[in-house]
Structure 1
Amino acid sequence: MNSKQQPSSRPNSGADTTSTSPSRWIPLIHLLFLIGLLSLLAPYEWNRVESENLQLPWLSRFFLYVNVDTTPYFILLLFSPLCWWLPLPLHWGFFSRALRPRLSLAWVEKKRSDKQWDWFAISISLLLALTSLFISGWTADHIVDTERELTLGDLPPAYHDEYSYLFQTETLLAGRTSFPSHPEAPELFDQVHVLNEGNMASRYFPGTGLWLAPFLAWGHPYWGYWLAGAVTTFFFFWAARELGGNGVGLLGGLIIAFSPGMAIFSNLLLAHHPTLVGLSLFLWAYLRMQRTSSFGDALLAGLGLSFAMLCRPMTAAGFALPFGIRQAVQLVRWCLLKIKKTETESSTRQIWLPVAGLALPLACGLICLFLYNQSITGSGWKMPYQLYTDIYTPRHVYGFNNVIRGEQKLGPKVLDNYDKWAENLTPALAVQNIQNRFLASLQWTLGIIPLSLAALVFLLTEWKQWSRWWLVFASIISLHVVHIPYWYDGIMHWHYVFETGPLWALIFARATQTLFRIWQQIDRPLMSVLWLAMMLAAFLTNLTVLPPLWGVSKLEIIVSNVAFSRLKHFQFQQMLNHHPQIKRPALMLIAHDPHDRHIDYVINSPDLKQQEILTGRYLPAQYPPARVQQIFPQRTLYLYDAKQNRLSRWNGTIWEPI
């Protein structure tokens, strides 16, 4: 992953930070890293070993009770002095002659100057995309119920949000943006994250439903998310290639493809993967646009960002903020040149063509979003997301003191149990959330230790110069910043900043490129091997089991967590579809368990009339069973008590257990 100084006429990717002679400070910096890591990891390892089965020998306890976040890196750290001092030359002829040149930025520059297709890069990008597809499918095949031999992919969705996105997709497939609420008893069919105010519509933005629609119509909705992961990996490879060459792209793409967080989210019907499709296209096209000043590249970047905005507007804004600031700075510079009358026709084209290419798709996206809002809320300026929060979950409002502000706006339709889940956001909670999101984003992308080291290396080696790599790093920071004013740290403590994961992969690849160059200059080849061993250890602990060292991978931990909710929904749906005493058509009223606010079984298709078994809320004070039966005379009325796991039928007078 060697690098080459780029011509001054091109944007500086930061590919070259070399000097003719290695700095005398390099050995000292390495020593400080070693001491710092030992100081951090040694106490954790000592406490771990001393707190386990004390009857076993100390060394046995060390290897039998491995902490996958610290122990592998502590072991590798002990080998670092040996790797530093051992003069073991490594000569791999095939790598040096055939692979290494193709991984460098010089290779990329040569292909560009010769106007040749880089079939090596195309092959790598396609292999990385296929690897991502494989990992997504392999994750879905994890057994989560050994008795019934059920895999994760056999189960229905886990989260309220997923059912809302399915509701949205079914609505769009019907050629509509909403369906009418039930005319006589709308409150019975209040579904979490679905507006029900005269018309029923998902609270979420339409991009996810648009992405999911063809795959749901096909009957394989999760395939759309597997494909989204593959597309993301593909475009992030090309973005990293723009910055540092094929080697950087290969390493960044591998980390994205093997990320346990990416693997599990490719099996959740949430907005993140469709958003990443747009953002990855934006990043690659924008970086390419900086090199070419092409209207077409700018248009592609704008299309990607516009689609991401239609999925997750706040995330799209946070991701693109540093790039927008850079464009604004360039415009200000051009204006100053115009005032001084030193601008040229070529400089004007280089400024305004990219701006036009970026702005046109964004403007179209905003118009589409305005019309979508208009069709649901009656006002193009009022988002369904905002309206849902105002009516049903006012304590979940964005910003500090959300609970205090929300309690001043409580209305009759507040989902009280779910709404009270919110914590009041204070500066102390915001700091805790930042820490949780930051650590979780490292943990679920590659690992806390590897990515923390990469971040430190990046900051130490890049701070002296401006390069486009700072846009990538700044995008990570801005994604965290725009989500500070939200009280919840997120699913797995990070889903609000999930899109930082691929960016961290690029930062790790850049740090690796820098370290390999330094170690080559000072003739320490085994340090490169040690670094690759650290990355391999992360891949193994993230995705595999290696008894007796560790008995569960990070991926299996989160698969089990997701499967818990999915199994509950599966059992409920099995009861609806196969219980011998449920007569159709039916209306199943549900008394939810107040202690389990994250499982809600009121899930219907948008067109209530077409569903054989409707699920509704048990609201005896507002809708007594006798009145419900009058409203639905053609349906048999049932009551499911989720806390007691008890099913009853209305016999006209009382609830009769069955």
Structure 2
Amino acid sequence: MDSEKPISSRSKAPHESLPDQPSHSRWIPLLHLLFVVLLFCFLTPYEWDRVQSEDQNLPFLTRFFLQMNVDTSPYFILLLLSPICWFIRPYFNFKFFSKVLLPKLSEEWVRANQASGKLDFMAICLCLLVSSCSLFMSVWTASHIVNDELKLAMGDLPPAYHDEYSYLFQAKTFLEGRTSFPSHPDAPELFDQMHVLNEGKMASRYFPGTGIWLAPFVSWGHPYSYWGHWLAGAITTFFIFWTGRELGGNGVGFLAGFVIALSPGMAIFSNLLLAHHPTLVGLALFLWSFLRMQRTYALRDAILAGIGLTFAMLCRPMTAAGFALPFGIWLVFLLIKSCLSKQDHSTKPEAQDSKPKRPAWVLTTGLAIPLSCGLLGLFFYNQSITGSGWKMPYQLYTDIYTPRHVYGFNNVIRGEQKLGPKVLENYDKWAENLTPALALQNVQNRFLASLQWTLGIIPLGLAGLIFLITECRHRSRWWLIFASIISLHFVHIPYWYDGIMHWHYVFESGPLWALVFARSTQTLFRIWRQIGRPLMFLLWISMLLVAVLTNLTSISPLWTSSKLETMVNNVAFSKLKHFQLQKMIQQYPKIEKPALILIAHDPADRHIDFVINEPELNQSVLLGRYRADRDEPAKLQSIFADRQIYLFDVSQNRLSKWNGAFWERI
């Protein structure tokens, strides 16, 4: 049934065609066979190479089940079972499931409730269940022990990435009722902090949405700052459930929410103070409200969609633009159609809507008003920091400190023509020159990582192919979901870096993939029910459970580390480095406070930078950037006469004290 059409509980739209119509059933076995052959050809080389790499003295089956590849091996086993599941056709009849539960999960149930205006208690219970599951996953991930000696969990540690400290700087600045703080009057460059503009004013280079989201949680102190992202994950799951319900019923909403709630990538990012989770809150609200607006033509839905998109724009504008592009195109076509015909030819409003549907221009205005307010606020925010409403702190930071990181092709070549005296040379040279070949490689990396970290390459790859095959005959709102995935990847093609975990630039495609997976599952279950293949249900559910198990658990000796645990340990490496430095500052008895500790960073490690200070530069221990060719200790001592000066060499893990004549190791 096409979910984009308002359908009463009594009848279906006359033009609809079901994917499981008997007239097409002759193609179904052939398509199943084609999928089995393609999967076999794809998975066999990986499994053969894996088995051959093990100790040849072991029996073949032992080698096969030893240290399985979690991305391929379990699915290869399920693939071998697929012929059995296809040809054996037992009869099952669970009356509670078929008569009570299944109808309440269906799209028809939702449409009937929408038509009657009844409260759907089933939907409320399911959305609360998946939201609670998301919250539990975030907390459980934070509780993973990453240092056995000190019994430190991931949530006990400080942030890992430069960007996180910049967002914290921004949140703390906002908590003081400001958008920036003045740079140090005598030695400003000493306190150059990664991703913090320091040109007379110190301010995060990033857009203000994330700082606004973090501010109330940061005010409570560590580790409460992570609660904001845990809550953001639960809110995102909440809205993804209602989005899936809007498109395909309670079952689709529940499955999409379940996939997102248990996604290892979502769990990891909910414990990183980056912009992605706040962005997802806005985008999830936008997605649900926009789809409702398509059905109801209600002004309130348009305004809610505008509010959600505005907040996402204030967090990650490029991501918000890429995500919303297909929906914007749909709205433009609706406006053109309305103008040409002088009236709306859209479907009639639902029975529960007592008010008449709004014209297209009213809906567009409802979306545009919050966006206009957000852009106006951003204009004044830019002006308060850079002096020009048209000049973003992000752009100014790139121009001054990291010109090779500029957006677009040939970034290194273009950036090297604009090198200035304040370029962070070591970090700036990390950039690769973006060519079409590198861009193509980045797209491939981001695509595979988005499948891998959302659920799994095989489950979501299959779901995507099934979606394309089964939806191609329908003019469905589901195409907006798929188009949003494509456009999100498209707008990030002109950036040289593929992202954290090869993924973070297209991280927000995760919930969209969960929706695609839920839709494909709904379609397959209809087909298998129509042609009487009950074991295929169990095979598909087994694939989902295998994905969850390999993502979240380890079963030795089959696989010794889950995807989640592997990434937790990866992220914990940087977190522990920051923790160790902070512990030394707090507890080392030979550090006389107040102090200024100059940091000589390890040139071999571009991604851990310890120069992190409070926006006011007033804490008892300040951290400064040591430049041996510029900073004379005697001069610094005269500037900071009230502070004892130290030098910490990161590569040698050595702390020295300035005794007035030379650096004395302590």
TM-score under structure 2 length normalisation: 0.96
Which amino acid letter does the alignment assign opposite residue 272 of structure 1?
H
Output the amino acid matched with 1:634.
D
Question: 1:19 Cα deviation (Å)?
Answer: 2.4
Distance, in Å, in 2 between the alignment partners of 1:341 and 1:306 is 29
- Higher deviation after alignment, 164-173 or 87-96: 87-96
- What residue is the counterpart of 1:614 in the other structure? 622
The answer as to whether partners of 1:454 and 1:507 remain within 8 angstroms in 2 is yes
Partner of 1:169: 171
For residues 192-203 of structure 1, the aligned pairs below 5 Å read 192-203=194-205
Which residue matches 2:32? 30
Q: 405, 415, 430: which one pairs with 1:421?
A: 430
Among 137, 143, 146, the residue aligned to 1:144:
146
User: In structure 2, what is the equivalent of residue 515 of structure 1?
Assistant: 524
Asked if 1:370 is matched to 2:352, the reply is no
How far has the Cα of 1:71 moved from its partner?
0.4
Alignment check: 8 A CA contact 1:242 1:288 kept: yes
For 1:10 and 1:615, locate their aligned partners in 2 and report how far apart those are by CA, in whole Å: 68
The one of 443, 446, 453 aligned to 1:437? 446
> RMSD of aligned C-alpha atoms?
2.2
Q: Tell me if 1:548 matches 2:552.
A: no
Q: For 1:403 and 1:200, locate their aligned partners in 2 and report how far apart those are by CA, in whole Å.
A: 26
Could you tell me which runs of 5 or more consecutive residues in structure 2 were left unpaired when the two chains were aligned: 350-354
| CA–CA distance in structure 2, aligned partners of residues 631 and 91 of structure 1 | 83
Displacement of 1:260: 0.2
Structure 1 position 632 matched with structure 2 position 640: yes
Distance 1:606 1:187 in 2: 14
Say if 2:186 and 2:639, in contact at 8 Å, map to a contact too: yes
How far 1:2 sits from its partner (Å)? 11
Aligned to 1:392: 401
Deviations 1:11-31 (A, max 9, x none): 999995442544211101100
Residue 264 of structure 2 corresponds to 260
- CA distance in 2: counterparts of 1:14 and 1:412, whole angstroms: 65
CA distance in 1, matches of 2:220, 2:95: 49
Asked if the contact 1:4–1:16 (Cα under 8 Å) also holds between the matched residues in 2, the reply is: no
Q: Specify the SS of the correspondent of 1:587.
A: strand
Cα distance in 2 between the residues matched to 1:339 and 1:297: 20
SS at match of 1:649: strand
Equivalent residue for 1:123?
125
Change beyond 3 A, Cα 1:196–1:34: same
Q: Deviations over 1:123-180 (max 9, x none)?
A: 1101111000000000000010111111100110000000000000000000000000
2:57 matched to which residue of 1? 55
- State the SS of the aligned residue for 2:146: strand
The answer for the alignment partner of 1:291 in structure 2 is 295
Separation in structure 2 between the aligned mates of residue 424 and residue 616 of structure 1, nearest angstrom: 31
Partner of 2:315: 311
How far residue 47 of structure 1 moved from its aligned partner, in angstroms, is 1.0
Alpha-carbon distance in structure 1 between the residues aligned to 2:291 and 2:15: 9
Which moved further from structure 2: 20-29 or 225-234? 20-29
Q: Shift in Å at residue 349 of structure 1?
A: 3.2
Task: Name the SS for the 1:638 alignment partner.
Answer: strand
Residues in 2 aligned to 1:630 and 1:87: alpha-carbon distance in whole angstroms: 86
Matching of residue 536 in structure 1 with residue 545 in structure 2: yes
**Unpaired segments ≥5 residues, structure 1:** none
Map Cα deviations across residues 468-508 of structure 1 (whole Å, 9 max, x no partner). Answer: 00000000000000000000000000100000001000000
TM-score by length of structure 1 reads: 0.97
Residue 481 of structure 2 corresponds to residue 472 of structure 1:
yes
Quick one: distance in 2 between partners of 1:521 and 1:230? 36
8 A Cα contact 1:11 1:290, kept in partner: no
Structure 2 counterparts to residues 32-111 of structure 1, below 5 A:
32-111=34-113
CA distance in 2, matches of 1:230, 1:349: 32
The 2-side partners of 1:275 and 1:339 are apart by 35
Letter in 2 for 1:74: F
Residue 498 of structure 2: aligned partner: 489
| Partner of residue 233, structure 1 | 237
Change (3 A) 1:588 1:350: same
- The answer to whether 1:409 aligns with 2:418 is yes
Once residues 149 and 588 of structure 2 are traced to their aligned partners in structure 1, the CA distance between those partners, rounded to angstroms, is 20
Distance in 2, matches of 1:213 and 1:529, equals 46
Which of 180, 183, 187 is 2:189 aligned to? 187
**What's the CA shift for 1:75?**
0.2
CA distance in 2, matches of 1:221, 1:347: 45
| 2:336 match | 332
In structure 2, distance between residues paired with 1:297 and 1:125: 20
- Mapped to 2, the partners of 1:72 and 1:13 lie a distance apart of 41
Residue 248 of structure 1 pairs with residue 252 of structure 2: yes
Aligned to 1:644: 652
Q: Write the letter of the residue equivalent to 1:413.
A: K
Distance 1:339 1:507, change over 3 A: closer
Q: Describe the SS at the equivalent of 1:590.
A: strand
* Contact 1:282–1:300 (CA under 8 A) maintained in structure 2: yes
Partners of 2:328 and 2:108 lie apart in 1 by 29
Please give the per-residue CA displacement for 1:522-558, whole angstroms capped at 9, x wherever unaligned.
Answer: 0001101100000000000000111121110000111
| CA displacement 1:388-408 (0-9 Å, x = unmatched) | 000000000000000000000
On the 8 A contact 2:154/2:568 being kept in 1, the answer is: yes
Structure 1 residue 98: Cα displacement: 1.4
- Find the aligned partners of 1:28 and 1:326 in 2 and give their Cα distance: 35
> What residue in structure 1 maps to residue 352 of structure 2?
none
* Cα deviation code 1:45-88 (max 9, x no counterpart): 11101111222111011111210000000000011000000021
Which residue pairs with 1:458 in the alignment? 467
Which of the numbers 111, 115, 118 marks the counterpart of 1:113?
Answer: 115
Q: 1:340, 1:203 → 2: CA distance?
A: 44
Does the residue aligned with 1:81 lie in a helix, a strand or coil? helix
Deviation of residue 350 (structure 1)?
A: 2.7
Distance in 2 between residues matched to 1:186 and 1:66, nearest whole Å: 53
Question: What is the rounded CA distance, in whole Å, between the counterparts of 2:12 and 2:214 in structure 1?
Answer: 39
Shift of 1:337: 1.2
Tell me the distance in 1 between the aligned counterparts of 2:616 and 2:241.
Answer: 42
CA 1:529–1:339 in 2, change beyond 3 Å: closer, same or farther? closer
Counterparts of 1:506 and 1:620 in 2: how far apart (Å)?
54
**CA apart distance, 1:604:** 0.3
Q: Is the 8 A contact 1:293 1:353 kept in 2?
A: no
* Range 57-66 or range 263-272, more displaced: 57-66
Q: Deviations over 1:263-317 (max 9, x none)?
A: 0000000000000000000000000011110000111000000000000000000
Q: 1:593 aligns with which of 596, 602, 610?
A: 602
Conserved in 1, the CA contact under 8 Å of 2:443 and 2:493? yes
